[in-house]
Amino acid sequence: MSEELFRMEGICKNFPGVKALDDVSFSVNKGEVHGLVGENGAGKSTLMKIMSGVYKEDSGSIFIEGEEVNINSVAKAQELGIAIIFQELNLCPHLTVANNIYLGRPPLKRYLISDKKMHEDAKSVLDDLGINISTHEIVSNLSVAKQQMVEIAKAISQKSRILVLDEPTAALTEKEIEQLFDIIRNLQKKGVGMVYISHRIEELEEICERVTVLRDGQYIGTRNYKDITVDELVNMIVGRPLEDKYPKKIRNIGEVCFEAKNLSRKGIVNVEKIEVRKGEILGIAGLMGSGRTELARLIFGADKADSKELYMDGKSITVNNPGQAIANGIGYVTEDRKFDGLALDLDVQYNTNMAHLRHISRYGFIDDKEGKRNAQEYKGLLKIKTPSLRQKVRYLSGGNQQKIVLAKWLCNDAKLLIVDEPTRGIDVGAKFEVYELLNRLSDQGVSIIMISSDLPEILGMSDRILVIHEGTINGELDVKKTTQEEILYLAAGYNKMKKKAQWENIF
Amino acid sequence: MGEHFLKEEGKKVTDTVNKLKPKEDISHKLGTSAKKAMLSGAALVLLFTVFALLKPKLFLARSNLINIAQQVVTYSIIGFGLTFCLVCGGTDLSAGSSMALSGIIVTTLLIRGVPLVFSILTALIFGILMGIFNGFSIEVLGVVPFVATLGTQWIFRGLANVLVDGKPIYTNTIPSESVQKAFYVLGGGRMSSGLPYSVIITLVYGLILFVVLSKTRIGRQIYACGSNLEAAKLSGINAVGTRMFAYCVSGFSAAICGILVTSRISSAQPMAGQGYELEAIAASVLGGVSINGGEGSIGNTIIGALMMGIMRNGLNLMGVSSFWQQVVVGIILVGAVAMEARRNMKNK
């Protein structure tokens, strides 16, 4: 089992002005899943890009099965059997599963493509991995989890021996994660070595034998999972002890601030009533696709509702579009900052001010001084790390990007802030800062609705939890008296009243 | 604004996070389009110097410089409108046709004896209406900008032909001679120094649009829509209205251009302005406006239009045939965009 497959030694990589990697060593054994962790900007992706031939190391050596290799191009890396499954999947959405697996190298029969053979071959690869997807399915019809599996199958069909999984579970539900882990275990049996990059420490614990920590481009160490506690690991990652993942908070909860009644959109959301009090954080849990985000979009006026009644401070308000929502003091921090949260090619100042141009303009003219002052203020307040306010947000780390999305709404004096997956894909330290920020807002009397797939986060931050299943509320839980299991149970669509034993029988 | 948010600093935790401080780089302080404007500005100066050295007498002659300015006017004005469309993530292929149609409208009205100011205003309003029509098919009917404006390119061109039965109409058939003269002054008149009024009109119009795009709320909204439409909508920006506005600016600009050209050549041609929209897009892109939206300014467009104008004029003076000129302009356009693309790749 412990036969070495891949080793990097003393890897250094400099970018102008930044030492991205400094003497990093790292190895993967056959059939091993090796965790690679570190905060954003720690050097994980640079290391990965060196492995895959996108960058060339400045110094250091790479060995595969004991032989030194020179990975000087992406093609070379592929030839050596190194494949990376990126967070953003690289599939052609309009083509079938089989076509994607054999993209660029379809099986030929007398110079023509043999569709029959392609589907047979693809099916055997999928079967071999225990993946149950039709090879004729169009990729865009598949869930993200299934698409990821296709990507893995594609890599394996190219005879890859070393797989790098970059945040593979970021967009998966608990159940899908289990399926992915089954596939990973299958691959382990075949002797494939895997590098598993993730922010979710609980997952690493489940799937990895060893874990390597990078911080600020430095190699911090490699540990066997069984010899180390989570606290020690977190300590290695952030370089200091984190007393608590969630800041302790005694909340001062006031009157009902926001109320939504009869919210419905046919077939997607059907909610009778939601209320949030002043200074309260209301958690909304549910599986992906359960209608959590759709619910938020309905409240915010981003989607058309079949029916809805909204009340702010007891007064009825009309919200038919995001503009009206903002005017009524509602803010919405979206789920996917790159897709609908930020204008990536515009600068920090621009993005910070994007949702309240009205406030910084007079007679339609923008007051740039005011805009700059405002952006500067929030940059300081949220400790946004950026070389200047003129930096394009594309080049900032995930955590800093997320802070800008938050800043965008903070300067609007929102009474109700809806945050959708506020800490997805950002590192431990930045997560803590976001939590503190939410706490400070609740101190100010802002009502917050927090949607999250991260159960410990929901439990750690909310005062009350609503669990959504198929667009309806399947239970309200008091955070002090509930458990992750209970949330999952309700999220899976089981009723609270049914006996818990039943649930245990099913799983 | 933001006053309710506590000014108290976060507890401890925060300082060690993200230790990797991004380097201080002066180039961040300039916007991308400003950087591009500097680059293409440098190219412009180079181009000017080369021609000035090669053909000093001909090229630097006052009459020639004025000639260049006059040529540049057309592309610039249409280019301004297209810049609005490009920055907000769309395009307007109908600009050349809108220009012809506006020229026909203003001349037809004048020939029928409608007062000058009223005729011009009507043509301008029609320009805006053409923009609204484009915006309507894109925003309400959901046709992609490329196809929608390709369609209106034919619709407006067809209407221009229908109005005059495919034949040019001449301003010397305007009943009042004083109106004839007054109308000619707009596009063909010159100041005592020889500088055409149309150049001044272009500069003033460009300045106004520069302010609109860079200093007003609607301008900011145009950038937001072009950079990330979803984010813009969820930031409470009225995306439909914003993009409508951009198409109206394009239609309005085309109308101005149509009026100026008709005035200068003393006739309205139903086939005028064919392909001008593509020339204007080329000029904008050459100057640094991004074809993908979210980037660019009026300054970029002016520089691009000047580059095109000087290149054409210089090559003419060198005796290069107009066919070869097309080849050269094409190569330079692709080359410039390719250089830009390479720089972008490096940045990522």
**Domains by residue range for chain B, with CATH:** 55-323 (1.10.3470)
Instruction: Give B223's contacts in chain A (Cβ within 8 Å).
Output: 343, 346, 350
Kindly tell me if the per-residue pLDDT of B26 is higher than 70: no
Note whether A446 contacts B4, CB cutoff 8 Å. Answer: yes
Residue A228 CA to residue A36 CA, distance in Å, equals 15
Note whether A217 contacts B20, CB cutoff 8 Å. Answer: yes
Instruction: Give B216's contacts in chain A (Cβ within 8 Å).
Output: 361, 364-366
Q: Minimal Cα–Cα distance from B149 to chain A, Å?
A: 26
- Closest-CA residue of chain B to A400: B18
- Characterise A313 by phi-psi region: left (phi > 0), alpha (psi -120 to 50), beta (else): left
CB distance A257 to A415 below 8 Å: yes
Q: Minimal Cα–Cα distance from B127 to chain A, Å?
A: 23
Note whether B228 contacts A343, CB cutoff 8 Å. Answer: yes
Question: In a mutagenesis test of the A interface, which of B7, B8, B20, B24 is the best target, namely the one with the most A β-carbons within 10 Å?
Answer: B20
pLDDT digits (tens, 9 = 90+) for A6-42: 999 999 988 766 678 888 988 999 999 999 988 766 7
CB distance A278 to A445 below 8 Å: yes
Note whether A374 contacts B232, CB cutoff 8 Å. Answer: no
Q: What is the mean pLDDT of chain A?
A: 85
Three-class SS of residue B177?
helix
- Closest-CA residue of chain A to B6: A440
Which among B16, B223, B234 has CB closest to A346? B223
- Closest-CA residue of chain B to A409: B235
Kindly tell me if the per-residue pLDDT of B347 is higher than 80: no
Instruction: Give A444's contacts in chain B (Cβ within 8 Å).
Output: 4-6
**Would you place residue B24 in the very low, low, confident or very high pLDDT band (cuts 50, 70, 90)?**
very low
**Would you place residue B136 in the very low, low, confident or very high pLDDT band (cuts 50, 70, 90)?**
very high
- Closest-CA residue of chain B to A360: B217
- 3-class SS shares of chain A: helix, strand, coil, % to 5: 35, 25, 35
Which among A41, A327, A345 has CB closest to B20? A41
Q: Minimal Cα–Cα distance from B297 to chain A, Å?
A: 13
Note whether A345 contacts B238, CB cutoff 8 Å. Answer: no
- Closest-CA residue of chain B to A415: B4
Note whether A322 contacts B10, CB cutoff 8 Å. Answer: no
Take residue A225 and report the two structure tokens written for it. Answer: 């999972």
Q: Minimal Cα–Cα distance from A359 to chain B, Å?
A: 8
Which among A327, A377, A390 has CB closest to B28? A390
Note whether A366 contacts B21, CB cutoff 8 Å. Answer: no
Distances in Å between the Cα of A425 and the Cα atoms of A258, A329, A336, A428, A449 are 29, 28, 10, 10, 20
pLDDT digits (tens, 9 = 90+) for A163-197: 999 888 877 777 888 888 999 999 999 889 999 98
- Closest-CA residue of chain A to B17: A429
Instruction: Give A74's contacts in chain B (Cβ within 8 Å).
Output: none
The number of CA neighbours under 13 Å toward the Cβ of A205 is 12
Note whether A323 contacts B237, CB cutoff 8 Å. Answer: yes
Instruction: Give A300's contacts in chain B (Cβ within 8 Å).
Output: 234
Residue B6 CA to residue B167 CA, distance in Å, equals 71
Residue A119 CA to residue A97 CA, distance in Å, equals 9
- Closest-CA residue of chain A to B218: A364
Beta pairing partners, A221: A213
Of A250, A437, A477, nearest to A333 by C-alpha is A437
Take residue A8 and report the two structure tokens written for it. Answer: 């990097």
Kindly tell me if the per-residue pLDDT of A419 is higher than 90: yes
Instruction: Give B30's contacts in chain A (Cβ within 8 Å).
Output: 390
- Closest-CA residue of chain A to B24: A387
Residue A456 CA to residue A246 CA, distance in Å, equals 9
Q: What is the DSSP string of B106-120?
A: HHHHHHTT--HHHHH
Which among B7, B218, B231 has CB closest to A341? B231
Q: Minimal Cα–Cα distance from A130 to chain B, Å?
A: 37
Residue A219 CA to residue A372 CA, distance in Å, equals 39
Lowest mean pLDDT among A304-308, A362-366, A380-384, A491-495: A491-495
Kindly state the percentage of chain A with pLDDT values over 70.
Answer: 94
- Residue A355 is given by DSSP the state G
* CA A107 to the chain's CA centroid: 36
CB distance A398 to B18 below 8 Å: no
Note whether B23 contacts A387, CB cutoff 8 Å. Answer: yes
pLDDT digits (tens, 9 = 90+) for B256-292: 999 999 999 999 999 999 989 999 999 999 888 988 8
Which among A339, A374, A436 has CB closest to B11? A436
Residue B61 backbone phi and psi in degrees, to 5: -60, 140
Q: How many CB pairs under 8 A join A and B?
A: 172
User: Please, what are the domains in chain A?
Assistant: 4-238 (3.40.50.300), 256-338+414-506 (3.40.50.300)
Kindly tell me if the per-residue pLDDT of B89 is higher than 90: yes
Q: Which residue has the higher pLDDT, B78 or A383?
A: B78
Contacts with A231 (C-beta within 8 Å, 6 or more apart), sequence order: A241
Contacts with A354 (C-beta within 8 Å, 6 or more apart), sequence order: A343, A346, A408, B220, B224, B231, B232, B235, B237
pLDDT digits (tens, 9 = 90+) for A203-221: 888 888 899 998 878 888 8
Question: In a mutagenesis test of the A interface, which of B17, B21, B86, B222 is the best target, namely the one with the most A β-carbons within 10 Å?
Answer: B17
Q: Where are the beta strands (DSSP E) in A228-350?
A: 256-265, 269-277, 281-286, 307-312, 315-317, 330-333
Which among A355, A356, A387 has CB closest to B24? A387
What is the dihedral angle through the alpha carbons of A172, A178, A182, A188, rounded to the nearest 10 degrees? 70
Distances in Å between the Cα of A97 and the Cα atoms of A139, A145, B156 are 6, 13, 45
Q: What is the mean pLDDT of chain B?
A: 86
Which among A361, A411, A437 has CB closest to B1? A411
Instruction: Give A364's contacts in chain B (Cβ within 8 Å).
Output: 216-218
Specify the pLDDT at position A170. Answer: 73
* CA A343 to the chain's CA centroid: 19
Kindly tell me if the per-residue pLDDT of B17 is higher than 50: no
Question: In a mutagenesis test of the A interface, which of B11, B16, B18 is the best target, namely the one with the most A β-carbons within 10 Å?
Answer: B18
Note whether A39 contacts B30, CB cutoff 8 Å. Answer: no
Of A122, A91, A92, nearest to A114 by C-alpha is A122
Kindly state the percentage of chain B with pLDDT values over 90.
Answer: 61
CB atoms within 10 A of CB B199: 17
> pTM here?
0.75
Instruction: Give B22's contacts in chain A (Cβ within 8 Å).
Output: 18, 385-387, 391, 395
Max CA pair span of chain A? 76
Note whether B216 contacts A366, CB cutoff 8 Å. Answer: yes
Kindly tell me if the per-residue pLDDT of B21 is higher than 50: no
Residue A309 CA to residue A468 CA, distance in Å, equals 19
Q: Minimal Cα–Cα distance from A465 to chain B, Å?
A: 25
Kindly tell me if the per-residue pLDDT of B16 is higher than 70: no
Note whether B30 contacts A361, CB cutoff 8 Å. Answer: no
Instruction: Give A436's contacts in chain B (Cβ within 8 Å).
Output: 10-11, 13
pLDDT digits (tens, 9 = 90+) for A226-267: 888 877 887 787 775 555 667 767 788 888 999 999 999 888
**Would you place residue A62 in the very low, low, confident or very high pLDDT band (cuts 50, 70, 90)?**
very high
CB distance A47 to A36 below 8 Å: yes
Distances in Å between the Cα of B126 and the Cα atoms of A67, B270, B274 are 74, 16, 19
Of B101, B124, B148, B119, nearest to B271 by C-alpha is B101
Q: Minimal Cα–Cα distance from B80 to chain A, Å?
A: 19
Residue B153 CA to residue B137 CA, distance in Å, equals 13
- Residue A208 is given by DSSP the state -
Specify the pLDDT at position B288. Answer: 87
Q: Which residue has the higher pLDDT, B142 or B19?
A: B142
Which among B5, B216, B234 has CB closest to A334? B234
Alpha helices in A54-173 (DSSP H): 74-79, 97-101, 115-129, 144-157
Distances in Å between the Cα of A153 and the Cα atoms of A130, A186, A190 are 10, 12, 13
Kindly tell me if the per-residue pLDDT of B214 is higher than 70: yes
Of A76, A28, A73, A24, nearest to A196 by C-alpha is A28
Residue B130 CA to residue B153 CA, distance in Å, equals 10
